[in-house]
Structure 1
Amino acid sequence: MSSVLNNKHLISRAGFGVSINQINNMEDWTPQKLSDVLFRNYNFTEITYQTPDFVKTETDDPKLIANQKRQQLKTFQKQNEELNLNFLMNMVHNEDQLLEKMAFFWHGHFATRINNSQFNQQLLNFIRKNALGNFKDLLIGVSKSPAMLNFLNNQQNKKDHPNENFAREVMELFTLGRGNYTETDIKELARAFTGWSYDKDGNFQERKNQHDNRDKTFLGKRGNFNGDEALKIILEQKTTAKFITEKIYRFFVNEIPDKSIIDKLSTDFYASDYDIKGLMKNIFTSKWFYDEKNIGNRIKSPTELIVGMMRILPMEIKNSENIVVYQKLLGQMLLYPPNVSGWPNGKSWIDSSSLMLRMQIPQIWSGIRPMEYSAKEDDDMDMGMKSREALNKSFKNPNIIIDWKKVENTFKDKKPENYIIINSGNINMESVKQFSDSDKIKAIINMMSTPEYQLM
C-alpha cells in the first residue's frame, strides 16, 4: 500500500482531508512524520463573534418587551451564525487539524441546541480547548456548562421536584451507554444533580438550598453524593471507558466495531485516567488502522464534505453566510444538532436528493451549474423566517472565487486522483475524464462530483 494512500487516509480521519498546501509533501511524508505533525502542540485560539450584544432597556410596556425579545433573538441568531462559520473556517484553515476534528466529534457527542450565543460560544471553546485533554475534565466541564444545563432542563431539577432529563442523558449518551444502568440509578443521579444551575452571565451555580442532601444509592455505592461525586463514580466504571472508546473507533476507524481492538484500546484508555490524546495516538499509530477494510469505508458527513472541498480548492467566499444554507440543505448545521443524540452517521447521510446535491456542489461552487435546491423549514435554523419563500428570497449563491491558477500549478505534474479520492483504485477514470488529460481543473471538478468522493 502506497505511502500517499496511507497519508491520505490518516489526514482524512485525523483531520478534514488533504489541503492544497500539503499536496507537494504527500510523497515525502511517512505516516510517522505526519503523525508528529498531527500531535504537535499548537497555540490555541478561541472562536468569537463580532456582532454586538443586544442591549435591553427597562420598560413595562408588553409590546416593547415582546419587541425586545424578538430583537434579542435576532442578535443571538446572527452571533450563532458567526460562531458556526468561524468554527467551520477553523476546520478548513487551522494547522491543528486533529484538535478541530476531535472538537467536531465532541460537538456531536455533547450535543446541545439553544439560542443563547454566549452560552454556545462558551461551550464550543471549552470543548475545543479540551478536545485532546482528559475526558474526566471534559465531562465535568461540559456537565456544568450553561448550554448543557439549559438544553437538558437541569435548572428545573430541585430537591422536591427532581428532573431526570439531564441525569438520563449523561449516562445513556455521554458515558455508560444504554443498558449499563437502571431506572433507579437515573433517579438517584438526578437527585445528585439537584441545584446545579447557572447565572445570566453563564457562570455555573450550585443552589445549595435546592440540593437534595439525603443519602443516595448510585451504581452500587451509597452516600450523600453531589453532582461532582456522582460523575466520578461514573468515571470509575470501566464500561464508561469502553463506551467512549467504541464511539471514537466507530467515528475515526470503522463503523463495524472490532471487539478485541476496542477492548485493548479501552483498557489502555482507562489505565491512562482517560487521556484522550493518548487514545488517539494509539489509534493512528497502529498498523491495523491502515488495514484495507478501514480505508475508504466511511461516508463523509456534510461538514467533512464541505470542509474537505474548501481545503483542496483555495477559495474566497463573498457571501459566507450562505454556506450555512448548504449545511442546512445537507442536514448538518453546526450548533444545531437534530436532538441530544447528535447527528447520525454513515448511510443516514445519503438519500436520492442529498446524494445528488452532494455531487453537484463542486459544479455549483465552480459556477458551472446553477443552485436549484431549497431548504426544508426549521424555524430555529431559518433565523425566525417561517416561510420557505422568505428563506429562499434571502439566499444568494456564496459567490465563490476559486484560485484555479494555484490548483493548476499544484497538480501540473501530478495525477489528481492520487490526492483527491481516497480509494482511487475503485474509480472509473474514463467516466471522470470527459475532458482532455491536459484540462486538470475540469478533471478535478468531475472527480469531486463522483460517488467515490463521498467516501473517506
Structure 2
Amino acid sequence: MLNQQQLQHLFLRAGFGETPQAIQPLLGTSREVIVEKLFASSREYKNVSYLPYPLHEGQYDKGLNVFQLVALILRSKQEMEELNAEWLFKMTYTPAVLREKMTFFWHNHFATSAPFAYLMQVQNNTLRKHALGNFGQLLHAVAKDPAMIIYLNNQENKKNHPNENFAREVMELFCLGEGNYSEKDIKEAARAFTGWTVNLKGEFEFQPQEHDAGEKIIFGQRGNFGGEDVIRLILERKETARYVVGKIYREFVNPVAHPARVAELADGFYRSGYDISLLMKKIFLADWFYADENRGVKICSPVELLVRYKKLVGLEFKNPKSLIELQQVLGQILFFPPNVAGWPGGPTWIDSTSLLLRLNLPARLLSGTAFNVSAKPAFEEDAAVAAGPPKSKGELTADWSALESFFKAEAPTQLAEKLIAHFIQCDPKTIDRRLLQSDAADNSLRGMCARLMSLPEFQLI
C-alpha cells in the first residue's frame, strides 16, 4: 500500500503532481493497482491538433513555393507560442498524464527546434504516439521526422557532400553516448543517411540519386548500409539500452544514477526489445523507487513547476504571451531547447534571476498582482536591452477555492503540518515552522500556502 508521501512522489515523477483532492481517495490502494491505472489512463489519448495542415487543396502534389515557405516561417513564431500554451493546457488537464510526461521527456531527449510550428506539432504527436511504446520504433520515426531532419541539416546530407550532424547526434546524444563509437563510425553512418530529406509538402522523402549506395563499415560490420540499417545496428548494441535507461533513471528516479539498478534495468530493457512501458512499470513498482533517498531530490523544471501551479491553484495569465516570457525567464520554453543536447536540468534551473522569480511567484498568485517579466538575454550584445525597462507585466489569476475546501476542516494548530505533508517531498525537518505561522503575517489558508510554496523545499520533487 502506498502512503501519502509515496503517492505524491509517484504522481510528481510519473506526471506533473496531483491535487490533495485526487490523492486522498487513493490512500491505502495497492501500488500495483495505482500503477496499472496510470498506464490504463494513457492508452487512450488525443494528439495536439491546434495547427491545421498548411497546404491547401491544389498544393498537395506540388507543395509550397519559396514565397509561401517564407510566409510560413514568418507566422510560425506566433503559432509556436500558441502551440506552447496548447501543450501546457494538455499537460494540466489530460487523463493521459503519464503519456504526456513521457512525451515531455522524449521532447528533451530528441531535442529539436525548427522554424516551422506545424512540423513541431507533427514531431510532438510522433513523440506522443511512441512515448510508451517501443524505443526502436520511436527512433526510426524520429530519424525520419521532418523537423529533426531540418534541425540537424540532414537535408544537406548528399552523397558528394556528406553532412555528419545527424549521424553524430544519433550516436552521441540519442543512443550510445560518448566513447561507444568512433569517428569512422560517424562518417560511415553519415553516408548511410544521405538522401534523407524533407520535400516542399513538409514530408520525409528519400532521394535515391543523392544516396551513397556504396559499401560502408560501421561498428566493424561491412555492408551497403542505408539509414534504417544504421538504426538497426545501433539498437543491436547493448550500450544503447544502458545509455537510454541511465537517462530515464536520472530523470524519473534520482539525478545521481545507481549503477547496479541501471545495469539491471538496461538488461531487461534490451531483452524486451526496448519496451518502454515495461521499463517504466518496473521502475514505478520497485521498492527503491519510493525510498527516502529518491524523494524530494530533484529540482522541479520550469514547465513542471508551471503545470503544478496550474493544477493546484489554476494559474492563468491575462495575456497569454506572459506565459512564454515567464518560461524564458525561468529557463525553459517548450519547443525551444537551448541546443541538440536539450536542457541539462538539475542545478542549472536555478540562478539569481530564476530563483527569485520562483520564490516570489506564490505571493503574486495570492495577491493577483502583476509582476515584471524581463527575459534573459540570449547573447551578450542583448544585455543592454535586457537591462532596460521590464519587457512586460505578467498579470495573472489564481483560484484557491479547491484547496480552501479541502483543508477547511483542519484545526489552525495542525494546518501548517498538513500543508507540509501535502506539498513538501524532502525532509520536513528542514522547514522552520515560524516561517509559515506568524502573528505579523496572513495566517489564512491562502497565506500559509503561499508562504509554503515560496520555500526552496517546494521546488524539490
TM score, norm. by length of structure 2: 0.89
- The equivalent residue for 2:404 is 408
Q: Distance in 2 between matches of 1:179 and 1:269?
A: 21
| Structure 1 stretch displaced more, 354-363 or 411-420 | 411-420
- The equivalent residue for 2:425 is 422
Contact 1:48–1:86, Cα closer than 8 Å, also in 2 = no
Q: Distance in 2 between matches of 1:273 and 1:420?
A: 38
Give me the identity figure in percent. Answer: 41
| Structure 1 stretch displaced more, 365-374 or 158-167 | 365-374
- The equivalent residue for 2:437 is 433
- The equivalent residue for 2:73 is 73
Q: Is 1:442 matched with 2:441?
A: no
CA shift at 1:50, angstroms?
5.1
- The equivalent residue for 2:326 is 326
Contact 2:370–2:396, Cα closer than 8 Å, also in 1 = no
- The equivalent residue for 1:304 is 304
Distance 1:107 1:50, change over 3 A: closer
Q: Is 1:455 matched with 2:456?
A: no
Q: Distance in 1 between matches of 2:138 and 2:174?
A: 11
**RMSD of the TM alignment (CA)?**
2.6
- The equivalent residue for 2:60 is none
CA shift at 1:69, angstroms?
7.2
| Cα shift readout 1:86-122 (whole Å, capped 9, x = no counterpart) | 1111111112111111111100000011111111010
Aligned AA for 1:430?
A: R
Q: Secondary structure at the match of 2:217?
A: strand
Contact 1:188–1:218, Cα closer than 8 Å, also in 2 = yes
Contact 1:192–1:211, Cα closer than 8 Å, also in 2 = yes
CA shift at 1:404, angstroms?
2.2
| Cα shift readout 1:413-436 (whole Å, capped 9, x = no counterpart) | 352221111123432222122368
Q: Distance in 1 between matches of 2:19 and 2:200?
A: 41
Q: Distance in 1 between matches of 2:53 and 2:130?
A: 27
Q: Is 1:127 matched with 2:130?
A: no
Contact 2:369–2:395, Cα closer than 8 Å, also in 1 = no
User: Which ranges of structure 1 fall in alignment gaps of 5 or more residues?
Assistant: 56-64
Q: Distance in 1 between matches of 2:52 and 2:431?
A: 45
Contact 1:194–1:212, Cα closer than 8 Å, also in 2 = yes
Contact 1:323–1:398, Cα closer than 8 Å, also in 2 = no
Q: Distance in 2 between matches of 1:370 and 1:287?
A: 44
Aligned AA for 1:417?
A: I
Contact 2:195–2:208, Cα closer than 8 Å, also in 1 = yes
Q: Secondary structure at the match of 2:394?
A: coil
Q: Distance in 2 between matches of 1:149 and 1:258?
A: 34
Q: Distance in 2 between matches of 1:32 and 1:398?
A: 43
- The equivalent residue for 1:58 is none
Q: Distance in 2 between matches of 1:16 and 1:191?
A: 41
Q: Distance in 2 between matches of 1:51 and 1:309?
A: 30
Alignment of 1:273-422 (within 5 A): 273-367=273-367, 370-378=370-378, 392=390, 395-400=392-397, 402-413=398-409, 415-422=418-425
Q: Is 1:160 matched with 2:160?
A: yes
CA shift at 1:73, angstroms?
3.4
Distance 1:181 1:127, change over 3 A: same
Q: Distance in 2 between matches of 1:126 and 1:52?
A: 15
- The equivalent residue for 1:248 is 248
Aligned AA for 2:230?
A: A
Q: Distance in 2 between matches of 1:313 and 1:31?
A: 27
Q: Distance in 2 between matches of 1:174 and 1:250?
A: 15
Q: Distance in 1 between matches of 2:2 and 2:146?
A: 48
- The equivalent residue for 2:25 is 25
CA shift at 1:123, angstroms?
0.3
Aligned AA for 2:32?
A: Q
Contact 2:2–2:29, Cα closer than 8 Å, also in 1 = no
- The equivalent residue for 1:108 is 108
What count of residue pairs does the alignment treat as equivalent?
A: 440
| Structure 1 stretch displaced more, 364-373 or 108-117 | 364-373
Aligned AA for 2:100?
A: E
Q: Is 1:43 matched with 2:40?
A: no
- The equivalent residue for 1:179 is 179
Q: Distance in 2 between matches of 1:390 and 1:80?
A: 26
Q: Is 1:94 matched with 2:94?
A: yes
Higher relative contact order (CA 8 A, sep 6+): 1
Contact 2:302–2:327, Cα closer than 8 Å, also in 1 = yes
| Cα shift readout 1:304-346 (whole Å, capped 9, x = no counterpart) | 1111111111345432332111110100000000000000111
Contact 1:321–1:398, Cα closer than 8 Å, also in 2 = no
TM score, norm. by length of structure 1: 0.90
Contact 2:371–2:393, Cα closer than 8 Å, also in 1 = no
Q: Distance in 2 between matches of 1:70 and 1:8?
A: 47
Q: Distance in 1 between matches of 2:32 and 2:442?
A: 34
Q: Distance in 1 between matches of 2:53 and 2:192?
A: 38
Q: Distance in 2 between matches of 1:262 and 1:406?
A: 40
| Structure 1 stretch displaced more, 410-419 or 193-202 | 410-419
Aligned AA for 2:433?
A: M
